[in-house]
């Protein structure tokens, strides 16, 4: 069963190269295993994520990235081991998953206690993602990027201590994806949750993450800290070297 660890994030700060080792642990995964139809997807996996730390998880299709995220979200349970996570956690999926029969602002505060599920609270969250002008819109009238912004506002309005992102930009066009990457980076720095981003995009991982993991054979096979200062741009000697290393870890060696 996923357990709950109460953590104080009040003093967590993000700087160019923060030393997260001195921050409280937000996620503590110990010897977690998960098997489907006799196939071991996660094999005694260990992982720690500190408060305020943005971690990107890479891996081949079927390597168990989403399985791990679902365990951390409480949507699945491991067959063995333990996963300690903060109670206040939210997930942004690849699909916005908005309720079509509710206006945008009601989607943002859906599920919150009555005293918190206010229009003002929704408007403030939507303003953070640049969508307050669509507060009374119906979900069907939103573009893909707008719908994903609404989903992000819905996640952040809950003030999570752990934000889980399951390939949230995969269905967006290239320009919208770039804008959303910048937005999520800014919002995570402002709010300071521990963040786990599951992605197939190596450059996206480098642009956003403080630390990048590669899932191999059911465990963390590669773990590296990104020393590039924020804000980041693709390209440059250090960026390209890290990209090539990660691609090699993913089984895509670069040719001369």
Task: Over range 213-234, report the average pLDDT.
Answer: 93
Confidence of residue 132 (pLDDT cuts 50, 70, 90): very high
The count of structural domains within the chain is 2
Residue 189 lies in a domain: yes
| 77 shares its domain with 167 | yes
Cross-strand pairs, 165: 92, 197
SS3 208: helix
Residue of 14 and 46 predicted with greater confidence? 46
Residue 194 lies in a domain: yes
Confidence of residue 18 (pLDDT cuts 50, 70, 90): low
Task: Over range 98-113, report the average pLDDT.
Answer: 96
What count of other Cβ atoms lies within 10 Å of the Cβ of residue 241?
10
Q: What's the mean per-residue pLDDT of the chain?
A: 90
Domain edge (last residue) among 159, 174, 204: 159
SS3 101: coil
pLDDT of residue 256: 58
Task: Over range 69-73, report the average pLDDT.
Answer: 96
Residue 6 lies in a domain: no
Task: Over range 149-166, report the average pLDDT.
Answer: 95
Residue 42 pLDDT greater than 70, yes or no: yes
pLDDT of residue 17: 54
What count of other Cβ atoms lies within 10 Å of the Cβ of residue 186?
14
Single out the residue of 252, 152, 139 nearest to residue 197, CA to CA. 152
Residue 69 pLDDT greater than 70, yes or no: yes
Q: Is residue 201 a contact partner of residue 211, using CB atoms and an 8 Å limit? A: no
pTM for the full predicted model: 0.89
**Domain enclosing residue 32, as ranges:** 19-88+161-249
Residue 238 lies in a domain: yes
Confidence of residue 74 (pLDDT cuts 50, 70, 90): very high
CA distance 152 to 98: 11
pLDDT of residue 14: 38
Query: Burial, 225: exposed, middle or buried (Cβ in 10 Å; 0-12, 13-18, 19+)?
Result: exposed
Percent of the chain predicted with pLDDT > 70: 92
Residue 255 lies in a domain: no
Q: What are phi and psi of 114, to 5 degrees?
A: -50, -40
| 133 shares its domain with 229 | no
Contacts for 163 with CB less than 8 Å, ≥ 6 apart: 89, 90, 92, 155, 156, 188, 191, 193, 194, 195, 196
Residue 1 pLDDT greater than 50, yes or no: no
């Amino acid at each position: 069963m996923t357990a709950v660890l109460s953590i104080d994030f009040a003093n967590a700060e993000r700087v160019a190269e923060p030393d997260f080792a001195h921050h409280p642990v937000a996620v503590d995964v110990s010897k977690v295993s998960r098997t489907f139809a006799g196939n071991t997807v996660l094999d005694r996996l260990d992982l720690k994520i500190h408060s305020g730390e943005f971690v990107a998880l890479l891996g081949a299709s079927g390597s168990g990235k989403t399985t791990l995220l679902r365990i951390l979200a409480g949507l699945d349970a491991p067959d063995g081991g333990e996963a300690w996570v903060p109670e206040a956690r939210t997930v942004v999926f690849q699909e916005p998953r908005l309720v079509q029969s509710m206006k945008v602002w009601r989607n943002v505060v859906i599920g919150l206690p009555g005293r918190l599920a206010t229009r003002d609270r929704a408007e403030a969250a939507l303003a953070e993602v640049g969508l307050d002008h669509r507060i009374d819109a119906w979900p069907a009238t939103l573009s893909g990027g707008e719908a994903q912004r609404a989903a992000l506002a819905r996640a952040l309005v809950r003030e999570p201590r752990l934000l889980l992102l399951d390939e949230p930009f995969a269905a967006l066009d290239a320009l919208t994806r770039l804008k959303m990457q910048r937005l999520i980076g800014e919002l995570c720095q402002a709010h300071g949750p521990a963040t786990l981003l599951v992605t197939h995009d190596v450059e996206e991982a480098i642009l956003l993450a403080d630390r990048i993991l590669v899932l191999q054979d059911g465990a963390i096979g590669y773990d590296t800290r990104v020393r590039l200062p924020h804000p980041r741009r693709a390209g440059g000697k250090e960026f390209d070297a890290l990209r090539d290393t990660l691609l090699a870890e993913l089984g895509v060696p670069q040719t001369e």
